[in-house]
Structure 1
Amino acid sequence: MISMGLVWDRAMAVISGRLGILLSLAVILLILPPVAQAGLEAISDTSFALRSTKFAASLLVFIAATISAIAMTAVASDPAVDQGAALAIGRRRLGPFIGVSLLIGLLFAVAMIPGAVLIGLAGFDVAQARAGGVPDGVNMPLLGAGLLYFIVLMPVMLWAAARLLPLSAVIVNERRGAGAIRRSFALTRGSSLKLMGVLILYGLVFLVVLMAATSVVGVVARLLAGADSPVIVSLVIAAVTAVVTALFSILQMVFAAQLYLAAREAHDAA
């Protein structure tokens, strides 16, 4: 059985001891790229060259975020890994990490298809409902079945996400590909409810902090920059969003790495 208290204490010790490296990775990979992308998005030109540049920037932001997850996991897993070694590991494990992530995303998407089909067959118009209109000719039994399917699916997906928490650490430390999914499920056996609670708490705290930070900073930026400077305001909000996301990403990656180490100890001992 994994002790969440022990994992948390170890995670805080790692953050305290390796904060400099973790923050440097966050600045390079999680803060600067999204802010630069926000600057590009603020340009209203619709030329093909700019659209291509924006697409390339989005791809680079995604790659940088993926490398950051791998690099932070490596730093949190091994005290001998410095910034250079972490970035090298990030580049080496980028392919397997993206491949496994896409596989999981595909599985989650496939799991959602039956509910989406039922709602579609019911004649429910999502766009009309968002606009405040009352959908006409909706087959209520089919709509109810579709909604019920998603209600049942949500806790199942949360359970799966909880069982996959050590996934990044497994990919980084054990050099596995798709087999990392099975290994992650094996390591988290018996800890599902605890990990689901951790995910819910993490998500709620992140959303509250992010909304509060962006709301307050957004109001201050509008007051200081004026109503005629929407670009400046959007850049400030993008920067705050990137900083908050980066800090919570550090916490997430370090916790997941320490969860992996604790689970491996318990699993191997058994």
Structure 2
Amino acid sequence: MTMVRIGDVWDRTVDVLRGRTAILIGIALLTLVLPGIVAGALGTVVPLQDPFIVAVPLVRLATLVLLVLGVLAMTAVASDPAVDRAQGLRIAAQRLLAALGVLIALVLAALALFIPAGVLFRLSGATLSGAGTLDMSHAASGYAAGAGLLVLLAALLGLWLSARIVPLFGIVVNERRGFGALRRSLALTKGSTLKLIGVLILYFILTTVAMLAATMVSGVVARLALGGDATAGVAFVVAVVRTLISAGATTVQSVFYARFYVAAIEREQRMAPLA
């Protein structure tokens, strides 16, 4: 059985990033960078007080929706060389509700994976502090160990599922599917799961290291430039840098996922006469 070659997908990803740089940057600036900067400014350089504090979660929700819109647009652009920025954004707007519905279903499924562990943690006597940290000092060891094992299993299952839905947005955009995109995604990733898991782990490591390094460096530089007392200004600079790193990583990820979708479709078409 012919498999999707991840090396070829990376090569095509690089080709798209080089050939369609201006289009991708334009989409990223509009849907990822600018909303992220606005969200980062709230509470730092733009202090909020009651009753305007309610604007923070609304802005964050809008930022998340724009993120999904941007990923859909970049997926359309990376999937079809005939799609430009305006067309990509138009396609993304048309498929936004379908994509949000699928994402909500995935979030609910992810939460459900951790419910058994949460129940065991509760039975163990562990408590959650006001700061959001888990206090295990009075927890029963048996329940706690079982809960920890369930968390590990849920995380591994989540990683497996993440690999199996790599072409999800490619399907939503190009095949105009809704919840049916989930089953279709499982079919297209058959035989490539382990390779995709490796890609996801590598992506996570590189992104985390880049984010931590950029945050530390930008924080130090901002303190030197603005002064140690400019807490809000330093926080805003760090937020901007984090937004830029995140936007770049999201762009690369979106293009890779789109090119994997295209490669999987090409494999499926090659195998069709043999079925």
TM bracket, shorter-chain basis: over 0.9
Aligned to 2:79: 77
Matched, 1:33 2:43: no
TM-score, normalised via structure 2 length: 0.93
Q: Secondary structure at the match of 2:20?
A: helix
Residue of structure 2 aligned with 1:88, choices 87, 90, 100 = 90
Residue 128 of structure 1 deviates from its aligned partner by 8.9
Gaps of 5+ in 1: none
The residue type paired with residue 49 of structure 2 is T
Partners of 2:9 and 2:260 within 8 A in 1? yes
The correspondence of residues 192-211 of structure 1 with structure 2, limited to 5 A, is 192-211=193-212
Aligned to 2:146: 145
Change in 2 beyond 3 A, CA 1:248/1:172: same
TM-score, normalised via structure 1 length: 0.95
CA–CA separation in structure 2 for the residues paired with 1:179 and 1:132:
38
Aligned to 1:231: 232
Gaps of 5+ in 2: none
Aligned to 1:8: 10
The residue type paired with residue 178 of structure 1 is F
The residue type paired with residue 122 of structure 2 is G
Residue 126 of structure 1 deviates from its aligned partner by 3.9
Aligned to 1:127: 129
Residue 45 of structure 1 deviates from its aligned partner by 3.5
Change in 2 beyond 3 A, CA 1:132/1:53: closer
CA–CA separation in structure 1 for the residues paired with 2:67 and 2:184:
24
Aligned residue pair count: 268
The residue type paired with residue 258 of structure 2 is A
Partners of 2:128 and 2:134 within 8 A in 1? no
Q: Which moved more, 1:145-154 or 1:96-105?
A: 145-154
CA–CA separation in structure 1 for the residues paired with 2:93 and 2:243:
22
Change in 2 beyond 3 A, CA 1:13/1:120: same
CA–CA separation in structure 2 for the residues paired with 1:132 and 1:12:
43
Aligned to 1:167: 168
Residue of structure 1 aligned with 2:99, choices 97, 103, 113 = 97
Aligned to 2:213: 212
Q: Secondary structure at the match of 1:2?
A: coil
The residue type paired with residue 46 of structure 1 is Q
Change in 2 beyond 3 A, CA 1:8/1:39: same
Residue 228 of structure 1 deviates from its aligned partner by 2.1
Root-mean-square deviation (CA, aligned residues, Å) is: 1.7
CA–CA separation in structure 2 for the residues paired with 1:181 and 1:132:
34
Structure 1 residues 122-150: Cα deviation after superposition (integer angstroms, max 9, x where no partner): 111243998797612x2221111111111
Q: Secondary structure at the match of 1:70?
A: helix
The residue type paired with residue 48 of structure 2 is D
Aligned to 2:117: 115
The residue type paired with residue 256 of structure 1 is Y
CA–CA separation in structure 1 for the residues paired with 2:256 and 2:218:
28
Q: Secondary structure at the match of 2:42?
A: helix
Percent of aligned positions that are identical = 38
The correspondence of residues 173-188 of structure 1 with structure 2, limited to 5 A, is 173-188=174-189
CA–CA separation in structure 1 for the residues paired with 2:132 and 2:62:
32
Q: Which moved more, 1:1-10 or 1:119-128?
A: 119-128
CA–CA separation in structure 2 for the residues paired with 1:127 and 1:240:
31
The residue type paired with residue 266 of structure 2 is E
CA–CA separation in structure 2 for the residues paired with 1:151 and 1:187:
27
Q: Secondary structure at the match of 1:71?
A: helix
The correspondence of residues 12-23 of structure 1 with structure 2, limited to 5 A, is 12-23=14-25
Partners of 1:128 and 1:134 within 8 A in 2? no
Residue 237 of structure 1 deviates from its aligned partner by 0.8
CA–CA separation in structure 2 for the residues paired with 1:131 and 1:187:
40
Aligned to 1:53: 55
CA–CA separation in structure 1 for the residues paired with 2:136 and 2:68:
42
Q: Secondary structure at the match of 1:81?
A: coil
Runs of 4+ residues over 3 Å off in structure 1: 128-134
